[in-house]
Amino acid sequence: MTSDSLETILDIAISLTAERDMDALMNRILTEAMNLTNCDAGTLYIVNDSKALQFQNIITRSKGIDQSAARDEINLPPVSLNRSSVCACAALDQTSINIPDVYTSTEYDFSGAQKYDRFNAYHTKSMLVIPMENDHDEVIGVLQLINAMDEDGNIIAFADEYETIVEALASLAAISLYNYKLSDEISQLLHSFVQVMASAIDLRSPYNANHTRNMVKYGERFIDWLKSTGNGWQFTEERKDAFLMSAWLHDIGKLVIPSEVMDKPTRLGGMEKDVFHRLEVGILMERMEQIKSPQAAEPAERMEALLAAKELIQTSNTAGFLPDEKIDAIRRLRHSTCKNAEGEEIPLLTEEECEALSVRKGTLTDAERQTIENHVVYTGQMLSEMRFTGNYEMVPVWAASHHEFIDGSGYPEHKKGEQLSKEIRLLTILDIYDALTAEDRPYKPPMPAEKAFAILEDMAGEGKLDPEILGLFRESGAWRK
Protein backbone atom coordinates (compact mmCIF):
# COMPACT_ATOMS: atom_id res chain seq x y z
CA MET A 1 0.00 0.00 0.00
CA THR A 2 1.48 3.35 -1.04
CA SER A 3 1.84 6.29 1.36
CA ASP A 4 -0.83 8.14 -0.65
CA SER A 5 -3.20 5.22 -0.29
CA LEU A 6 -2.49 4.99 3.43
CA GLU A 7 -3.16 8.69 3.87
CA THR A 8 -6.43 8.33 1.97
CA ILE A 9 -7.48 5.40 4.17
CA LEU A 10 -6.67 7.38 7.32
CA ASP A 11 -8.69 10.35 6.10
CA ILE A 12 -11.62 8.08 5.31
CA ALA A 13 -11.31 6.35 8.69
CA ILE A 14 -11.56 9.68 10.50
CA SER A 15 -14.59 10.73 8.48
CA LEU A 16 -16.29 7.36 9.00
CA THR A 17 -15.93 7.51 12.78
CA ALA A 18 -17.42 11.02 12.77
CA GLU A 19 -20.49 10.06 10.68
CA ARG A 20 -23.70 9.85 12.72
CA ASP A 21 -26.19 9.12 9.95
CA MET A 22 -26.56 5.42 9.09
CA ASP A 23 -27.58 5.98 5.48
CA ALA A 24 -24.84 8.53 4.92
CA LEU A 25 -22.34 6.15 6.51
CA MET A 26 -23.20 3.27 4.19
CA ASN A 27 -23.26 5.52 1.14
CA ARG A 28 -19.87 6.92 2.16
CA ILE A 29 -18.41 3.41 2.49
CA LEU A 30 -19.50 2.48 -1.03
CA THR A 31 -18.54 5.72 -2.77
CA GLU A 32 -15.11 5.82 -1.12
CA ALA A 33 -14.44 2.23 -2.22
CA MET A 34 -15.50 3.13 -5.77
CA ASN A 35 -13.34 6.27 -5.76
CA LEU A 36 -10.31 4.36 -4.53
CA THR A 37 -10.61 1.75 -7.26
CA ASN A 38 -11.98 4.07 -9.98
CA CYS A 39 -14.82 1.72 -10.81
CA ASP A 40 -18.19 2.36 -12.44
CA ALA A 41 -20.57 0.48 -10.16
CA GLY A 42 -20.91 -0.99 -6.73
CA THR A 43 -23.31 -2.57 -4.27
CA LEU A 44 -23.23 -2.60 -0.51
CA TYR A 45 -24.99 -5.52 1.17
CA ILE A 46 -25.76 -5.80 4.89
CA VAL A 47 -26.37 -9.10 6.67
CA ASN A 48 -29.97 -8.82 7.90
CA ASP A 49 -31.73 -10.52 10.81
CA SER A 50 -32.60 -13.46 8.55
CA LYS A 51 -28.91 -14.02 7.82
CA ALA A 52 -29.22 -12.99 4.18
CA LEU A 53 -27.46 -10.22 2.27
CA GLN A 54 -29.82 -7.24 2.04
CA PHE A 55 -29.30 -4.64 -0.69
CA GLN A 56 -28.53 -1.33 1.02
CA ASN A 57 -26.82 0.88 -1.55
CA ILE A 58 -26.55 0.51 -5.33
CA ILE A 59 -24.57 2.88 -7.53
CA THR A 60 -23.98 2.68 -11.30
CA ARG A 61 -22.40 5.92 -12.43
CA SER A 62 -22.68 5.35 -16.17
CA LYS A 63 -26.43 4.77 -15.75
CA GLY A 64 -27.03 7.54 -13.24
CA ILE A 65 -28.22 5.06 -10.63
CA ASP A 66 -27.79 5.95 -6.96
CA GLN A 67 -30.17 4.04 -4.70
CA SER A 68 -30.34 3.62 -0.96
CA ALA A 69 -32.68 1.31 0.95
CA ALA A 70 -33.19 4.13 3.46
CA ARG A 71 -34.65 6.53 0.89
CA ASP A 72 -35.62 4.38 -2.11
CA GLU A 73 -37.57 1.21 -2.70
CA ILE A 74 -35.07 -1.39 -3.89
CA ASN A 75 -37.15 -4.16 -5.45
CA LEU A 76 -34.49 -6.82 -5.21
CA PRO A 77 -34.81 -9.86 -2.96
CA PRO A 78 -32.11 -10.52 -0.35
CA VAL A 79 -29.28 -12.80 -1.43
CA SER A 80 -29.28 -16.08 0.47
CA LEU A 81 -26.04 -17.08 2.11
CA ASN A 82 -25.35 -20.11 -0.05
CA ARG A 83 -22.89 -20.76 -2.83
CA SER A 84 -25.21 -19.65 -5.63
CA SER A 85 -23.79 -16.11 -5.74
CA VAL A 86 -20.30 -14.65 -5.60
CA CYS A 87 -21.14 -12.12 -2.89
CA ALA A 88 -22.51 -14.91 -0.67
CA CYS A 89 -19.38 -16.99 -1.29
CA ALA A 90 -17.19 -14.08 -0.20
CA ALA A 91 -19.21 -13.78 3.02
CA LEU A 92 -19.27 -17.54 3.70
CA ASP A 93 -15.56 -18.02 3.04
CA GLN A 94 -14.63 -14.67 4.59
CA THR A 95 -12.31 -14.01 1.70
CA SER A 96 -11.97 -11.45 -1.08
CA ILE A 97 -12.80 -12.46 -4.62
CA ASN A 98 -11.23 -10.69 -7.63
CA ILE A 99 -12.64 -11.65 -11.05
CA PRO A 100 -11.07 -10.08 -14.20
CA ASP A 101 -14.01 -11.09 -16.43
CA VAL A 102 -17.25 -12.57 -15.12
CA TYR A 103 -18.18 -13.89 -18.61
CA THR A 104 -15.12 -16.10 -18.82
CA SER A 105 -15.01 -17.19 -15.17
CA THR A 106 -16.16 -20.72 -14.40
CA GLU A 107 -15.45 -20.71 -10.67
CA TYR A 108 -18.61 -18.85 -9.61
CA ASP A 109 -22.20 -18.52 -10.75
CA PHE A 110 -22.62 -15.13 -12.47
CA SER A 111 -26.04 -15.79 -13.98
CA GLY A 112 -27.50 -13.05 -11.77
CA ALA A 113 -25.04 -10.47 -13.06
CA GLN A 114 -25.61 -11.55 -16.64
CA LYS A 115 -29.38 -11.35 -16.20
CA TYR A 116 -28.96 -7.83 -14.81
CA ASP A 117 -26.89 -6.90 -17.86
CA ARG A 118 -29.58 -8.08 -20.26
CA PHE A 119 -32.36 -6.14 -18.52
CA ASN A 120 -30.36 -2.94 -18.11
CA ALA A 121 -28.25 -2.84 -21.27
CA TYR A 122 -25.12 -3.04 -19.18
CA HIS A 123 -21.93 -5.09 -19.43
CA THR A 124 -20.42 -6.39 -16.22
CA LYS A 125 -16.82 -7.40 -16.67
CA SER A 126 -14.38 -7.04 -13.78
CA MET A 127 -15.55 -7.55 -10.21
CA LEU A 128 -14.05 -7.23 -6.76
CA VAL A 129 -16.01 -8.60 -3.81
CA ILE A 130 -14.84 -7.89 -0.26
CA PRO A 131 -16.47 -9.23 2.94
CA MET A 132 -16.87 -6.63 5.68
CA GLU A 133 -15.72 -8.12 8.98
CA ASN A 134 -15.92 -6.40 12.36
CA ASP A 135 -13.40 -6.77 15.18
CA HIS A 136 -15.26 -9.89 16.39
CA ASP A 137 -14.46 -11.69 13.12
CA GLU A 138 -18.12 -11.49 12.09
CA VAL A 139 -19.17 -10.70 8.53
CA ILE A 140 -21.73 -7.91 8.73
CA GLY A 141 -21.81 -7.00 5.06
CA VAL A 142 -20.25 -7.28 1.62
CA LEU A 143 -18.80 -4.71 -0.77
CA GLN A 144 -19.18 -5.61 -4.43
CA LEU A 145 -17.35 -3.38 -6.92
CA ILE A 146 -17.84 -3.64 -10.68
CA ASN A 147 -15.86 -2.54 -13.74
CA ALA A 148 -12.62 -0.90 -12.72
CA MET A 149 -11.51 1.65 -15.34
CA ASP A 150 -8.23 3.06 -16.57
CA GLU A 151 -7.59 6.75 -17.18
CA ASP A 152 -9.25 6.52 -20.60
CA GLY A 153 -12.41 4.93 -19.26
CA ASN A 154 -11.65 1.42 -20.50
CA ILE A 155 -12.79 -1.45 -18.32
CA ILE A 156 -9.86 -3.27 -16.73
CA ALA A 157 -9.32 -5.85 -14.02
CA PHE A 158 -9.07 -4.67 -10.42
CA ALA A 159 -5.38 -4.38 -9.56
CA ASP A 160 -4.10 -6.54 -6.71
CA GLU A 161 -3.09 -3.43 -4.75
CA TYR A 162 -6.72 -2.27 -4.86
CA GLU A 163 -7.71 -5.50 -3.18
CA THR A 164 -5.52 -4.69 -0.18
CA ILE A 165 -6.72 -1.08 -0.03
CA VAL A 166 -10.41 -1.99 -0.21
CA GLU A 167 -9.95 -4.74 2.39
CA ALA A 168 -8.49 -2.12 4.75
CA LEU A 169 -11.39 0.21 3.98
CA ALA A 170 -13.92 -2.61 4.40
CA SER A 171 -12.45 -3.49 7.79
CA LEU A 172 -12.65 0.13 8.97
CA ALA A 173 -16.12 0.48 7.55
CA ALA A 174 -17.31 -2.75 9.19
CA ILE A 175 -16.13 -1.59 12.61
CA SER A 176 -17.73 1.83 12.11
CA LEU A 177 -20.96 0.23 10.92
CA TYR A 178 -20.93 -2.31 13.76
CA ASN A 179 -20.33 0.41 16.35
CA TYR A 180 -23.12 2.50 14.84
CA LYS A 181 -25.56 -0.40 14.98
CA LEU A 182 -24.45 -1.28 18.50
CA SER A 183 -24.94 2.34 19.59
CA ASP A 184 -28.34 2.37 17.91
CA GLU A 185 -29.34 -0.87 19.64
CA ILE A 186 -28.26 0.51 23.02
CA SER A 187 -30.20 3.70 22.31
CA GLN A 188 -33.29 1.69 21.36
CA LEU A 189 -32.90 -0.41 24.51
CA LEU A 190 -32.70 2.74 26.63
CA HIS A 191 -35.76 4.23 24.94
CA SER A 192 -37.64 0.95 25.36
CA PHE A 193 -36.77 0.93 29.04
CA VAL A 194 -38.02 4.50 29.38
CA GLN A 195 -41.30 3.62 27.66
CA VAL A 196 -41.74 0.58 29.92
CA MET A 197 -41.14 2.71 33.03
CA ALA A 198 -43.65 5.33 31.85
CA SER A 199 -46.19 2.59 31.12
CA ALA A 200 -45.59 1.10 34.58
CA ILE A 201 -46.37 4.48 36.16
CA ASP A 202 -49.52 4.77 34.06
CA LEU A 203 -50.67 1.29 35.04
CA ARG A 204 -50.21 2.09 38.72
CA SER A 205 -52.06 5.38 38.44
CA PRO A 206 -55.07 5.33 36.10
CA TYR A 207 -55.96 8.85 37.26
CA ASN A 208 -52.63 10.05 35.92
CA ALA A 209 -52.45 7.87 32.83
CA ASN A 210 -51.99 10.55 30.19
CA HIS A 211 -49.87 13.04 32.10
CA THR A 212 -46.42 11.89 30.98
CA ARG A 213 -47.50 11.35 27.38
CA ASN A 214 -49.05 14.81 27.25
CA MET A 215 -45.88 16.40 28.56
CA VAL A 216 -43.78 14.61 25.95
CA LYS A 217 -46.23 15.65 23.23
CA TYR A 218 -46.23 19.30 24.33
CA GLY A 219 -42.43 19.31 24.66
CA GLU A 220 -41.83 17.82 21.23
CA ARG A 221 -44.26 20.21 19.56
CA PHE A 222 -42.70 23.18 21.34
CA ILE A 223 -39.14 22.25 20.35
CA ASP A 224 -40.23 21.74 16.74
CA TRP A 225 -41.96 25.13 16.84
CA LEU A 226 -38.74 26.78 18.06
CA LYS A 227 -36.93 25.26 15.10
CA SER A 228 -39.56 26.26 12.55
CA THR A 229 -39.61 29.88 13.75
CA GLY A 230 -35.84 30.26 13.89
CA ASN A 231 -35.96 31.21 17.55
CA GLY A 232 -32.63 31.87 19.23
CA TRP A 233 -33.24 28.96 21.59
CA GLN A 234 -32.64 25.80 19.58
CA PHE A 235 -32.30 22.13 20.48
CA THR A 236 -30.01 19.78 18.59
CA GLU A 237 -31.64 16.42 17.85
CA GLU A 238 -29.53 14.90 20.61
CA ARG A 239 -30.55 17.52 23.18
CA LYS A 240 -34.18 17.25 22.11
CA ASP A 241 -34.06 13.50 22.65
CA ALA A 242 -32.47 13.97 26.09
CA PHE A 243 -35.11 16.53 27.08
CA LEU A 244 -37.98 14.30 25.99
CA MET A 245 -36.40 11.42 27.88
CA SER A 246 -36.36 13.55 31.03
CA ALA A 247 -40.08 14.20 30.45
CA TRP A 248 -40.73 10.47 30.10
CA LEU A 249 -38.84 9.79 33.34
CA HIS A 250 -39.82 12.79 35.46
CA ASP A 251 -42.39 10.85 37.50
CA ILE A 252 -40.54 7.55 37.76
CA GLY A 253 -40.32 8.09 41.52
CA LYS A 254 -44.09 7.58 41.72
CA LEU A 255 -43.43 3.87 41.30
CA VAL A 256 -42.62 3.72 45.02
CA ILE A 257 -45.40 6.03 46.22
CA PRO A 258 -48.28 4.07 47.88
CA SER A 259 -51.16 3.88 45.43
CA GLU A 260 -53.69 4.77 48.15
CA VAL A 261 -51.94 8.14 48.44
CA MET A 262 -51.10 8.73 44.79
CA ASP A 263 -54.59 7.84 43.55
CA LYS A 264 -56.59 9.27 46.45
CA PRO A 265 -59.79 10.55 44.78
CA THR A 266 -61.52 11.89 47.92
CA ARG A 267 -60.43 13.38 51.23
CA LEU A 268 -61.34 10.25 53.18
CA GLY A 269 -59.91 7.87 50.59
CA GLY A 270 -59.67 4.38 52.09
CA MET A 271 -61.35 5.57 55.31
CA GLU A 272 -64.56 6.44 53.48
CA LYS A 273 -66.19 3.02 53.88
CA ASP A 274 -65.68 2.93 57.67
CA VAL A 275 -67.00 6.47 58.20
CA PHE A 276 -70.21 5.97 56.23
CA HIS A 277 -70.79 2.52 57.72
CA ARG A 278 -70.47 4.05 61.19
CA LEU A 279 -72.95 6.78 60.23
CA GLU A 280 -75.47 4.31 58.78
CA VAL A 281 -75.32 2.14 61.89
CA GLY A 282 -75.68 5.21 64.13
CA ILE A 283 -78.70 6.46 62.18
CA LEU A 284 -80.27 2.98 62.23
CA MET A 285 -79.76 2.71 65.98
CA GLU A 286 -81.50 6.07 66.56
CA ARG A 287 -84.37 5.03 64.28
CA MET A 288 -84.82 1.83 66.28
CA GLU A 289 -84.73 3.85 69.49
CA GLN A 290 -87.38 6.15 68.03
CA ILE A 291 -89.61 3.15 67.22
CA LYS A 292 -89.25 1.84 70.75
CA SER A 293 -89.95 5.27 72.31
CA PRO A 294 -92.05 7.22 69.81
CA GLN A 295 -92.81 9.94 72.37
CA ALA A 296 -89.13 10.62 73.16
CA ALA A 297 -87.66 13.66 71.40
CA GLU A 298 -84.00 12.79 71.87
CA PRO A 299 -83.71 9.90 69.33
CA ALA A 300 -85.31 12.04 66.60
CA GLU A 301 -82.96 14.93 67.36
CA ARG A 302 -79.91 12.68 67.37
CA MET A 303 -80.96 11.07 64.08
CA GLU A 304 -81.49 14.48 62.50
CA ALA A 305 -78.03 15.54 63.70
CA LEU A 306 -76.48 12.38 62.23
CA LEU A 307 -78.23 12.91 58.88
CA ALA A 308 -76.93 16.49 58.80
CA ALA A 309 -73.44 15.20 59.68
CA LYS A 310 -73.65 12.66 56.88
CA GLU A 311 -74.61 15.37 54.39
CA LEU A 312 -71.74 17.58 55.58
CA ILE A 313 -69.23 14.74 55.34
CA GLN A 314 -70.46 13.68 51.88
CA THR A 315 -70.20 17.17 50.41
CA SER A 316 -66.89 17.95 52.13
CA ASN A 317 -65.37 14.63 51.08
CA THR A 318 -65.56 15.46 47.37
CA ALA A 319 -65.53 19.29 47.27
CA GLY A 320 -62.69 20.96 45.41
CA PHE A 321 -62.31 23.66 48.06
CA LEU A 322 -63.60 24.04 51.63
CA PRO A 323 -64.31 27.49 53.14
CA ASP A 324 -63.59 28.22 56.81
CA GLU A 325 -67.16 27.62 57.95
CA LYS A 326 -67.19 24.07 56.53
CA ILE A 327 -63.82 23.26 58.03
CA ASP A 328 -65.04 24.53 61.41
CA ALA A 329 -68.20 22.43 61.10
CA ILE A 330 -66.13 19.31 60.30
CA ARG A 331 -63.89 19.92 63.29
CA ARG A 332 -66.92 20.25 65.59
CA LEU A 333 -67.97 16.75 64.48
CA ARG A 334 -64.81 15.47 66.14
CA HIS A 335 -66.61 15.94 69.46
CA SER A 336 -69.82 14.20 68.27
CA THR A 337 -70.69 10.59 68.96
CA CYS A 338 -72.95 7.89 67.56
CA LYS A 339 -73.99 4.43 68.68
CA ASN A 340 -72.47 1.25 67.32
CA ALA A 341 -74.39 -2.01 66.78
CA GLU A 342 -73.95 -2.89 70.47
CA GLY A 343 -75.50 0.44 71.47
CA GLU A 344 -72.20 1.85 72.75
CA GLU A 345 -71.36 5.55 72.27
CA ILE A 346 -68.34 5.92 70.00
CA PRO A 347 -66.69 8.97 68.35
CA LEU A 348 -68.36 9.92 65.08
CA LEU A 349 -64.94 10.68 63.55
CA THR A 350 -61.44 9.64 64.50
CA GLU A 351 -58.72 12.26 64.67
CA GLU A 352 -57.23 10.96 61.39
CA GLU A 353 -60.63 11.10 59.63
CA CYS A 354 -61.29 14.61 60.89
CA GLU A 355 -57.87 15.77 59.70
CA ALA A 356 -58.50 14.28 56.23
CA LEU A 357 -61.94 15.88 55.91
CA SER A 358 -60.54 19.26 57.00
CA VAL A 359 -58.17 19.54 54.01
CA ARG A 360 -58.95 22.91 52.50
CA LYS A 361 -58.02 22.18 48.87
CA GLY A 362 -57.55 18.86 47.11
CA THR A 363 -57.66 15.50 48.82
CA LEU A 364 -54.29 15.10 50.54
CA THR A 365 -53.33 15.79 54.13
CA ASP A 366 -50.00 17.51 54.82
CA ALA A 367 -48.37 14.15 55.52
CA GLU A 368 -49.78 12.62 52.33
CA ARG A 369 -48.74 15.65 50.32
CA GLN A 370 -45.20 15.28 51.66
CA THR A 371 -45.26 11.64 50.61
CA ILE A 372 -46.31 12.63 47.11
CA GLU A 373 -43.68 15.38 46.95
CA ASN A 374 -41.02 12.83 47.82
CA HIS A 375 -41.53 11.28 44.38
CA VAL A 376 -39.00 13.73 42.95
CA VAL A 377 -36.47 12.64 45.56
CA TYR A 378 -37.07 9.04 44.55
CA THR A 379 -36.84 10.03 40.88
CA GLY A 380 -33.38 11.47 41.51
CA GLN A 381 -32.28 8.46 43.53
CA MET A 382 -33.55 5.92 41.00
CA LEU A 383 -32.03 7.70 37.99
CA SER A 384 -28.72 8.14 39.82
CA GLU A 385 -28.46 4.36 39.80
CA MET A 386 -28.35 4.47 36.01
CA ARG A 387 -25.35 5.70 34.05
CA PHE A 388 -26.43 8.63 31.91
CA THR A 389 -23.50 9.94 29.89
CA GLY A 390 -22.82 12.12 26.86
CA ASN A 391 -25.97 13.64 25.41
CA TYR A 392 -28.06 12.16 28.24
CA GLU A 393 -25.91 13.34 31.14
CA MET A 394 -28.42 15.95 32.33
CA VAL A 395 -31.52 13.72 32.15
CA PRO A 396 -31.49 12.82 35.89
CA VAL A 397 -30.99 16.47 36.90
CA TRP A 398 -33.77 17.78 34.66
CA ALA A 399 -36.19 15.00 35.62
CA ALA A 400 -35.66 15.38 39.37
CA SER A 401 -35.98 19.19 39.33
CA HIS A 402 -39.39 19.67 37.71
CA HIS A 403 -40.95 20.96 40.95
CA GLU A 404 -38.30 23.60 41.62
CA PHE A 405 -39.20 27.29 41.23
CA ILE A 406 -36.96 30.19 40.21
CA ASP A 407 -37.56 31.97 43.55
CA GLY A 408 -36.40 28.91 45.52
CA SER A 409 -39.85 28.07 46.88
CA GLY A 410 -40.06 24.75 45.05
CA TYR A 411 -38.87 21.33 46.18
CA PRO A 412 -37.04 19.14 47.01
CA GLU A 413 -33.75 21.11 47.04
CA HIS A 414 -35.14 24.66 46.80
CA LYS A 415 -32.93 25.43 43.83
CA LYS A 416 -33.34 28.89 42.37
CA GLY A 417 -32.19 31.33 39.70
CA GLU A 418 -29.29 30.16 37.58
CA GLN A 419 -29.37 26.75 39.24
CA LEU A 420 -32.37 26.01 37.06
CA SER A 421 -31.54 25.54 33.38
CA LYS A 422 -33.96 26.52 30.62
CA GLU A 423 -34.79 22.83 30.17
CA ILE A 424 -35.86 22.52 33.84
CA ARG A 425 -37.91 25.73 33.58
CA LEU A 426 -39.67 24.40 30.49
CA LEU A 427 -40.31 20.99 32.07
CA THR A 428 -41.86 22.68 35.11
CA ILE A 429 -44.22 24.71 32.93
CA LEU A 430 -45.27 21.62 30.97
CA ASP A 431 -45.89 19.70 34.20
CA ILE A 432 -48.05 22.42 35.77
CA TYR A 433 -49.98 23.16 32.59
CA ASP A 434 -50.96 19.54 32.08
CA ALA A 435 -51.83 19.08 35.76
CA LEU A 436 -54.20 22.07 35.54
CA THR A 437 -55.87 21.00 32.30
CA ALA A 438 -55.86 17.22 32.83
CA GLU A 439 -59.13 15.51 31.98
CA ASP A 440 -58.51 12.31 33.94
CA ARG A 441 -58.30 13.57 37.53
CA PRO A 442 -61.21 12.30 39.66
CA TYR A 443 -60.84 15.04 42.28
CA LYS A 444 -61.21 18.05 39.95
CA PRO A 445 -62.63 18.99 36.56
CA PRO A 446 -60.24 20.00 33.75
CA MET A 447 -59.38 23.68 33.70
CA PRO A 448 -59.81 25.67 30.45
CA ALA A 449 -56.53 26.67 28.79
CA GLU A 450 -57.11 30.39 29.34
CA LYS A 451 -57.61 29.93 33.07
CA ALA A 452 -54.58 27.64 33.26
CA PHE A 453 -52.40 30.24 31.54
CA ALA A 454 -53.76 32.92 33.89
CA ILE A 455 -52.54 30.84 36.84
CA LEU A 456 -49.18 30.20 35.17
CA GLU A 457 -48.78 33.91 34.44
CA ASP A 458 -49.56 34.73 38.07
CA MET A 459 -46.86 32.27 39.11
CA ALA A 460 -44.44 33.91 36.66
CA GLY A 461 -45.35 37.29 38.14
CA GLU A 462 -44.52 35.93 41.61
CA GLY A 463 -41.08 34.92 40.35
CA LYS A 464 -41.73 31.18 40.35
CA LEU A 465 -41.78 30.52 36.58
CA ASP A 466 -39.78 31.89 33.65
CA PRO A 467 -42.04 34.48 31.97
CA GLU A 468 -40.13 34.38 28.67
CA ILE A 469 -40.37 30.59 28.29
CA LEU A 470 -44.01 30.68 29.39
CA GLY A 471 -44.73 33.31 26.72
CA LEU A 472 -43.03 31.21 24.06
CA PHE A 473 -44.94 28.10 25.13
CA ARG A 474 -48.25 29.94 24.92
CA GLU A 475 -47.36 31.46 21.54
CA SER A 476 -46.29 28.10 20.14
CA GLY A 477 -49.74 26.51 20.51
CA ALA A 478 -47.96 23.29 21.43
CA TRP A 479 -50.40 22.95 24.33
CA ARG A 480 -53.51 22.57 22.18
CA LYS A 481 -55.30 19.23 22.60
Please state the domain extents for the chain.
Answer: 3-183, 205-260+371-476, 266-363
Beta bridge pairs of residue 79:
53
Tell which wins on pLDDT, 167 or 348. 348
Q: Tell me which DSSP letter residue 80 carries.
A: E
Please tell me whether residue 137 adopts helix, strand or coil conformation.
coil
**E strands in 69-172:** 79-80, 97-99, 127-133, 139-149, 155-156
Question: Is the model's pLDDT at 183 over the cut of 80?
Answer: no
Q: Which listed CATH number (3.30.450.40, 3.40.50.12160, 2.60.120.10, 3.40.228.10) goes with 3-183?
A: 3.30.450.40
Residue scoring higher pLDDT (197 or 465): 465
Other Cβ atoms within 10 Å of 15 Cβ, number: 13
pLDDT band at 113 (very low <50, low <70, confident <90, very high): confident
Question: Does domain 205-260+371-476 sit in CATH 1.10.3210.10?
Answer: yes
Residue whose C-alpha is closest to residue 427's, from 286, 245, 180: 245
What b/e sequence results for 333-365 when a residue is b if at least 16 CB atoms lie within 10 Å of its CB, and e otherwise?
Answer: bbeeebbeeeeeeeebbeeebbbbbbbeeebbb
What is the CA angle 310-315-319, rounded to 5?
Answer: 155
Give the tens place of pLDDT for each residue, 36-80. 899 999 999 999 888 999 998 999 999 999 998 778 888 888 999
Whole-prediction pTM value? 0.66
Residue 434 in this model has a pLDDT that exceeds 90: yes
Q: What is the mean pLDDT of residues 109-134?
A: 89
CB 63 within 8 A of CB 43: no
The predicted-structure confidence for 206-217, as pLDDT tens digits, reads as follows 666 688 889 999
Quick one: pLDDT at residue 190? Answer: 77
- Out of 155-169, 183-197, 321-335, the most confident range is 321-335
pLDDT in tens, 306-335: 999 999 999 999 998 999 999 999 999 999
For 65, the 3-state DSSP assignment is strand
**pLDDT at residue 380 tops 80:** yes
pLDDT at residue 1 greater than cutoff 50: no
Is the distance from CB of 245 to CB of 305 less than 8 angstroms? no
Smallest Cα–Cα separation from 355: which of 344, 364, 346? 364
What is the Rg, in whole angstroms, of the alpha carbon atoms belonging to the chain? 36
